[in-house]
Amino acid sequence: MPRGRTVLIEDVTTTGGSLLSTLGTLLELNVDVVAAIGITDRQERRDDGQTVSEAISALGASFGKTLSYFSMSGAASLLPALVKRKMPSEKIMRSIEDEFLQYGIQALSLR
C-alpha cells in the first residue's frame, strides 16, 4: 500500500477508465493521491462528455480532494509533428482530422 503523497502514472491515456478506477480504489483506501500523470494522452472525449482532466477533478472532489491530471505529451502535438516528418496522404490526414472532430477533445488541423 502506498504511503505518503502518491502520484499515479499511466503510459497511454485514452478515456481515463483504468486511471479513474485505480484512483477511486486508492482514494477509498485513504491513500494520499495528489496527482495523475499520463505519459501520452490520446485526448479523446469520454462518453460522459468530459475530458480526462475534468473526470479526475470530479472524482477528487467527490472525496473532498483536489486532484490534477498532467500529460507529458498529447496527440494534438504529436500528430502534427509526425505529419511533418512522414508526410502522409491527404486521405490519411483527412481521416485523422475527422476522427478528432468526432472523438477528440478539440479539433485538429494537420495542414
- pLDDT tens digits for 55-103? 999 999 999 999 999 999 999 999 999 999 999 999 999 999 999 999 9
Give the type of residue at 26: L
Residues in Cβ contact with 17 at an 8 Å cutoff, skipping those fewer than 6 apart: none
Return d(Cα 41, Cα 69) in angstroms, integer. 10
Question: Exposed/middle/buried for 48, CB within 10 Å: 0-12, 13-18, 19+?
Answer: exposed
Which residue in 21, 24, 19 sits closest to 36, CA to CA? 19
Q: Is the pLDDT of residue 1 over 90?
A: no
* pTM given for the model: 0.86
Give the type of residue at 91: K
Q: Is the pLDDT of residue 27 over 90?
A: yes
pLDDT confidence bin for 26, thresholds 50/70/90: very high
Return d(Cα 75, Cα 47) in angstroms, integer. 18
